[in-house]
Amino acid sequence: MSRELQGRGAPEGTEGDRPSASGSRLRPAGTLRETGTAEEPAILEVERLSVSYGKVEALHGAGIRVAAGSIVTVIGPNGAGKTTMLGAIMGLLPCRGGVRFDGRDVRREEVEVRVAAGMALVPEKRELFGDMTVADNLLLGAFHRYRRGERRLDGDMAQVYARFPRLQERRHQLAGTLSGGERQMLALGRALMTRPRLLMLDEPSLGLAPLIVRDIFRIIADLRSTGVAILLVEQNARAALQVADYGYVLETGDVVLEGAAAELAANPRVIETYLGLAAAGAGAAERGPG
């Protein structure tokens, strides 16, 4: 995995780069690469994004970029503004700054338009319809396509069931009776029914047992190979940096560090602040129960 990761990520030698204590070079926080200078074109470019709740500004001009077909993670502590950032990108929250999806300015577009364009969000609380079946929750993911007149959704359902056999087994079960891991799978499956080109995941590991977390992260890595880009917000920094190509550290509303995921994982400040305790937990998860 690490060899693969080192081959990806940001171009070196950008003006203003600073060496990290580990010897790798990390990009200065808050700067945005010019379009076209990266190895891969950007599917998402967020520039100087600010969001306020009343008089309190939660995000202070943060910038991130997601290369097409890559996994980019935003890590940071509780209350850093990660969920706020995803909400603003998706159009759920008013914001200032630039949000470009596939080269197009979407900041004034409604959520439905962004979904139809290929943006999907799996929210932290999953937000499933608990009194509806698994199958109906999946179908709701394709609602915008149904409204456009598409009636042949069987192929998409079959693909989701192939990826999540557990959902197929439980397709007639009410979503409210699923386990935590199954609920996360259903939330992912429902997002896939929108045929996203950018999948934004808010804390997919939240509340899940370590072995289930490992399964979810395997699924996330596998999704990248289908060409979908993933923006992954996580407090589980170790797991996120293992699966991601590039990462940003968000603290109290500011991007304070960014770099290739492997470089961030080796950065002493990241290790000390975000990987110290997680290291023990991840090791236990890898060893398994016995």
What is the contact surface with ligand ATP in residues (CB under 6 A)? 53, 58, 76, 78-84, 235
Residue with Cβ nearer ligand ATP (20 or 205): 205
Residue with Cβ nearer ligand ATP (58 or 89): 58
**Polymer length in residues for the chain:** 290
- For residue 278, the one-letter residue type is A
Whole-number minimum distance, CB 31 to ligand ATP, in Å? Answer: 21
Let me know: does 244 contact 261? Beta carbons within 8 Å. Answer: yes
Let me know: does 145 contact 163? Beta carbons within 8 Å. Answer: no
Residue with Cβ nearer ligand ATP (9 or 76): 76
CA dist 116 and 194 (Å) reads: 8
Residue with Cβ nearer ligand ATP (81 or 247): 81
Residue with Cβ nearer ligand ATP (27 or 82): 82
Whole-number minimum distance, CB 248 to ligand ATP, in Å? Answer: 12
Whole-number minimum distance, CB 255 to ligand ATP, in Å? Answer: 12
Nearest to 95 by CA among 103, 105, 85, 104: 85
Question: Nearest 5 degrees, angle CA 210-CA 2-CA 267?
Answer: 85
Residue with Cβ nearer ligand ATP (82 or 107): 82
Whole-number minimum distance, CB 234 to ligand ATP, in Å? Answer: 9
- Distance (Å) of CA 228 to CA 71, 121, 190: 9, 13, 15
Whole-number minimum distance, CB 102 to ligand ATP, in Å? Answer: 25
Whole-number minimum distance, CB 207 to ligand ATP, in Å? Answer: 12
CA dist 139 and 199 (Å) reads: 18
CA dist 128 and 59 (Å) reads: 27
